[in-house]
Amino acid sequence: MRLLVTGGAGFIGSAVVRVFLGQGRGEIVNVDALTYAGNLASLDAVATDPRYRFVHADIRDAAALSRIFAEHQPDAVMHLAAESHVDRSIDGPRAFVETNVVGTFELLQASLVYYRSLDARRQARFRFHHVSTDEVFGSLGPSGAFTEDTPYDPRSPYSASKAASDHLVRAWFHTYDLPVVLTNCSNNYGPYQFPEKLIPHMILRALAGESLPVYGDGANVRDWLYVDDHAEALLLVLERGEVGRSYNIGGQAERTNLEVVHGLCDLLDARSPASAPHRVRIAFVRDRPGHDRRYAMAIDRVATELGWAPRHTFEEGLRATVDWYLAHRAWWEDIRSGAYRLGRLGLG
């Protein structure tokens, strides 16, 4: 297979690249605009692999996409490029509409033109895999879980833009017969995650001796999914998922934000005792607007139809994540000195 991945220099995208090549699945072309969260250092381990190609391009650029498809002739597309941070979407929603909606439209158009140029054998193999989020479903009460049939109810500019892109992908399937599969995932965590997100944000602030800001009362619940488990699931859906169908992918690890921060503090107490105890630095701060209370994913479809389940428990994944950040200071110190200095976002 020759796979074209958009956003392959991002957190989940770089994991897909590393897992794809590690499994010996074929060749991969990484198309990334290298915005603030794109980081080619996350791909140092594969940068010289002859099966890997990087193309610096923006998915909103129709002419660039046309050239990329003509040159690289992919067998499949996995669309991960997106603006993805809720707090940033509150402060600057335009970028989310432009990338997540307009960018997805341009990629669909380019994919459709390319797909129609293929012979019947290659058309039968081709897939467009759109990667989305559980946030399109809105906020859950204290019980229940999102299924693939849950009605959409996005509450933030980010989730609204992703919901729009999901609808576009389904429209291109029903109207133009583009062979698509979709996935909606729960909160990812793991190595190489940009430190605006909760887990790396808390790790880096703790290591710097700074306060650990928890939004509201800290009782918001998320289902946590280790990023390599997610990458493996994405490749499985791409290979074996039914065309036109969507699959929920979750870690089966619901935790409140405060429980996550407590777990991080305890791990850091053991690994960095000189600055322990870390829990005393927890500070409850003003909540962000429209903060969804709870997400949870039912993964019955991907488990039953494709035989997938997460390989990492939350405790295993959290330990591995903390250890990675402790061992890779150069990766995140470069970010802290430039792209992001751990400041507060999302107050509108």
Residues annotated as catalytic (active site), given as ranges: 134-135, 158
Among left, alpha and beta (phi > 0; psi -120 to 50; other), residue 221 is beta
State how far the Cα of 56 lies from the Cα of 33, in Å rounded to an integer.
6
Among 141, 20, 4, CA closest to 59: 4
Among left, alpha and beta (phi > 0; psi -120 to 50; other), residue 266 is alpha
Beta pairing class for 254-256 and 221-226: antiparallel
Q: How is 120-149 classified by DSSP, letter by letter?
A: HHHHHH-EEEEEEEGGGG----SS--B-TT
Three-state DSSP class for residue 18: helix
Three-state DSSP class for residue 208: coil
Among 325, 303, 6, 21, CA closest to 165: 6
